[in-house]
Amino acid sequence: MTRTLAHLSDLHLGRSEDDAATLRALVVALVEARVDQVVVTGDVTHRGRMEELATFRRLTAPLADRLTVVPGNHDRLGEDVARFLMRGRVAVERREGLHLVRLDSTAPHNRRIIDSHGGLSAEDLAAAGAAVEAAEPGELVVVLLHHHVHPLPGDDLWERLSDLVGLPWTAELAAGRALVERIAGRCDLVLHGHRHVPAELTLHRDAARPVRVVNAGSSASLGRARLFTHAAGRILGEGWIGCSAGSRRPVVLPLRPGPSGVPAAA
């Protein structure tokens, strides 16, 4: 049976009323499209406040039975709502046809807004590897985390300058490459956020089971979410689901073949 997986990230609820309105419209689109599973890869809130978390829970209530979330650095601010989004550093959720490995890439230093870079310990890497290895044949194996595992351009001038001078607060995960090597050959998708511009990279491209690393971008800013169709552990198609500009009317952009057919453009 073909099933659907939607990927959202960087909602930043509490930043503006527009962000909440966009999420409300996206939830309507996801419900109307009968998407089977929805994942959110961090920065659910903008200042880590309980009222922002309450807004997220209220707006996503129609998806509560098919929603998986990992925290981002912004969720560590304020009242540290990250602790309510995920308990422990690594967790596994199984859905029909899916093996979801949740990985908390935030760290205590994220309590300071300037220190937005993530952190993974050797214990985190070992636990993530064991969680991936526990997948059953025929499951699409997906690792979810907030921070990017390979270098990506900054979202604005200040982030690009930070990258140029080597400041850590905008850098990729120091253990990102080690994580990819640990899960290579046993994982199909790594879904993340943090950077607000969508991006994609396929690692170990020549292997029997390449690792696709996909950044959804900021769903609140884009007004759309990444959408995948899958069956028997393979991605069959992909596209976007969102709302039309101005009216916020739900719209599903046509799916295009995934790696099992014609490779899709990044």
Based on the number of CB atoms within 10 Å of its own CB, is 265 exposed (0-12), middle (13-18) or buried (19 or more)?
A: exposed
Exposure b/e, 52-67, CB count within 10 A at least 16 = b: bbebbeebbeebeebb
Q: CA-CA distance, 20 to 27, in Å (whole number)?
A: 11
For the chain, the C-alpha Rg in angstroms (whole number) is 17
Name the least confident of 6-10, 95-99, 219-223, 253-257: 253-257
What 3-state DSSP class applies to 43?
A: coil
User: What integer is the mean pLDDT of 141-146?
Assistant: 98
Per-residue pLDDT band at 169 (split at 50, 70, 90): confident
Q: Is the pLDDT of residue 266 over 80?
A: no
Residues 6+ apart with CB under 8 A from 37: 3, 4, 5, 6, 66, 68, 95, 98, 100
Q: How confident is the model at residue 164 (pLDDT cuts 50, 70, 90)?
A: confident
**SS3 label, residue 41:** strand
pLDDT at 147 over 70: yes
Give the pLDDT of residue 255: 55
| Closest CA relative to residue 11, chosen from 152, 150, 194 | 194
pLDDT bracket for residue 250 (50, 70, 90) = low
Among residues 123, 109, 100, the alpha carbon closest in space to that of 80 is found at 109
Q: Which residue has the tokens 């599973």?
A: 37
pTM confidence score: 0.93
**8 Å CB contact between 13 and 55:** yes
Tokens standing for residue 117: 């870079």
Mean pLDDT (whole number) for 218-232: 95
Q: Tell me how far apart the alpha carbons of residues 174 and 232 are, in angstroms, rounded to a whole number.
A: 33
Lowest mean pLDDT among 4-8, 163-167, 199-203, 220-224: 163-167
pLDDT tens readout for residues 116-140: 999 999 999 999 999 999 999 999 9
Mean pLDDT, residues 67-79 taken together: 98
Domains and CATH numbers, the chain: 3-257 (3.60.21.10)
Phi-psi region of 255 (alpha: psi -120 to 50; beta: other; left: phi over 0): beta
Q: Does 159 have pLDDT greater than 90?
A: no
Strands 211-215 and 224-231 come out as unpaired
Neighbouring C-beta atoms of residue 111, cutoff 10 Å: 15
Of 245, 237, 197, 172, whose CA–CA distance to 21 is shortest?
A: 245
Q: Token match 């406040």: residue?
A: 49
Query: Once rounded to an integer, what is the mean pLDDT over residues 8-12?
Result: 98
**Residue 17 dihedral angles phi and psi, to the nearest 5°:** -65, -30
Position 181 scores a pLDDT of 96
As a whole number, mean pLDDT of residues 6-21 equals: 97
State residue 263's pLDDT score. 32
Q: Tell me the average pLDDT across 220-232.
A: 95
pLDDT at 260: 42
Q: What average pLDDT score do residues 151-167 get?
A: 87
Average pLDDT over residues 179-207: 95
Predicted local confidence at residue 264, as pLDDT: 35
Q: Residue 246: pLDDT above 90?
A: no
